[in-house]
Chain A
């Protein structure tokens, strides 16, 4: 395969809460390759954002704390890098965009100013004029019309979609190796969502960065990603390339997620009365069951899932890079 830029090994992140310590991420393993997109899917609270913030070194501490594992970026463990050095990577080599385009930009600085700031920080060799030119270049690259005018506007003068484009411009201004996109389109309406996704794919071809694309929308995953990791309660329960995941998913949770995607093409003969959903609720991280975390909601759970032989491990299934964490994989 192509070159690996980032590898997360057995990442474990804990949060101190009033009810004791919560393990938000528990042994996550992912890999990011140049020019490829890794999707991370999972329900709310499954630890997607926490995984992303750990890679950025931005877990709020307290209450958070990376309790174990390694994050290897170009041969170096990011977790061991001193803060000062980490700042030269953040926003420069590893960049991130967030779910909330409406509030992620600073309301009292112009859009151009906020893009320029990241250039001034990481590309000290640029003159002021170079930076100004680069700001305009970035704004037109992300498809903002009349960039000279827009650069002098404040965030509130832009729509949500435009603001997310500005965020993308900020994150890509230094041509990063890795772009972490944490639900970048969740807050946007569907047509804008499609445009932003299209834009990200186009820019990936140009810049060649690896993308970690976080979402809870499997439809978006099918469109964007090369590989997918499915998370549940802070763990990866299934990981595969996108084709395998959609055609031959083995974990009942993944299967459930895929079946709950609304679709228009498969309904020629049969009309679906109701979209199938996964029954039940995500267990609280404070009292996870012993054994498989998904057992209470799983139609295929047997005694072994209750943990008499320990917790399920993430193991290779079949010959390829397909990994699952399940005692009773679907066939």
Chain B
């Protein structure tokens, strides 16, 4: 079986998964959930008012129709209108995605590149001072609460030094830049410890393998061994780790967005929870599920391309 048939086959497997996921979301939102109109109108609402709202939200239709709506929206991305603001939900999500991505994507790229490069260096100097130094840095960075970074950076760089904006956002390049620099730096700091620890373990796992000894016995230099032999093997777990993280970028970072007043998807979700906007929450659940399904598939496909041992069957 070649790689294309494999990809096609995996794409076909997606459909039953989507049917299952949308069914779960349907159960959660439309069956298990107590009557949302009660929450929205308060306890003094009359049955007539509640019935009217139900009709308006389409909750009086047969359950299978409601399920079919959810399933359909997974393919058409037509999620209807917000229960709260009455805006087109897809438009709201699109508007929120851009501010989120303006800081999560640069943060993710920088932290991945930085931690991967440091991991290679650290693997080269394993057991020596530099290695121990970075291990200590990792542990300390992971032990400090993200809140501490946010507050300190806002106070020091934005307030004291006035280098960046404390909070807020402006649309369009390059206007958003002063607003996202601090969030990017904080994103990097928050992920660097975890990333570096993971990549270091991967590199060190490889460096003690027998094939490395063979490479040395061939007379290859440590540099070639590290960058050619070790790195190519290490790429296998690294690719999985990187690709699986991508859905979280789309979700934004709740805490960072809140503190920096960035109108991203994290904020969108928080607002929707506060205002009982089930329409938006349902749409976000569907979209994030789709993102996880897709990037899982992508990581599997990449895996088979990097590791010759994976047999396609």
Contact = CB atoms under 8 A, between A and B. Distances in A.
Given A107-B309, A108-B307, A118 B211 contact: no
A295 to B, nearest CB: 35
Interface in A78-116: 87-92, 95-96, 98, 100, 103-109
Contacts of A88: 219
B213 A104 contact: yes
Contacts of B229: 106, 109
B308 A170 contact: no
Given A87-B220, A98-B210, A121-B220, 11 more contacts: A96-B217, A98-B214, A106-B215, A106-B229, A106-B232, A108-B236, A154-B308, A156-B308, A156-B309, A170-B214, A170-B218
A91 B219 contact: yes
Contacts of A34: none
28 contacts: A58-B213, A58-B217, A87-B221, A89-B219, A91-B218, A91-B220, A92-B219, A95-B217, A98-B214, A98-B217, A100-B210, A103-B209, A103-B210, A103-B211, A104-B210, A104-B211, A106-B211, A106-B229, A107-B211, A107-B307, A108-B306, A117-B218, A118-B219, A121-B219, A154-B308, A154-B309, A170-B214, A170-B218
A108 B232 contact: yes
Given A62-B127, A156-B309, A121 B211 contact: no
Interface of A: 56, 58, 62, 87-92, 95-96, 98, 100, 103-109, 117-118, 121-122, 154, 156, 167, 170-171
A105 B233 CA distance: 12
B94 interface: no
B238 to A, nearest CB: 13
A293 to B, nearest CB: 29
B72 interface: no
B216 interface: yes
B87 to A, nearest CB: 50
A211 B212 CA distance: 23
Interface in B222-238: 229, 232-233, 236
B220 A117 contact: yes
B174 to A, nearest CB: 42
Contacts of B236: 108
Contacts of B215: 106
Contact of A167 (B214, B219, B306, B307): B214
Interface of B: 127, 209-211, 213-221, 229, 232-233, 236, 306-309
A91 B216 CA distance: 8
A98 B213 contact: yes
A90 B221 CA distance: 11
Contacts of A62: 127
Interface centre among B216, B220, B229 (most CB of A within 10 A): B216
A170 B308 CA distance: 21
Contacts of B220: 87, 91, 117, 121
Nearest to A154: B308
Given A105-B211, A106-B229, A58 B216 contact: yes
Given A103-B210, A104-B211, A108-B232, A90 B306 contact: no
Nearest to A122: B219
A22 to B, nearest CB: 18
A188 to B, nearest CB: 15
Contacts of A56: 216-217
Given A106-B229, A156-B308, A121 B213 contact: no
A142 to B, nearest CB: 16
B25 to A, nearest CB: 40
Contacts of B233: 106-108
Interface centre among A89, A107, A171 (most CB of B within 10 A): A107
A90 B218 CA distance: 6
A165 to B, nearest CB: 14
A89 B210 CA distance: 20
A105 B308 CA distance: 13
Nearest to A103: B210
B211 to A, nearest CB: 4
A51 to B, nearest CB: 15
Contacts of B211: 103-107
B227 to A, nearest CB: 13
A32 B127 CA distance: 36
A154 B220 CA distance: 20
Contacts of B210: 98, 100, 103-104
Nearest to B309: A156
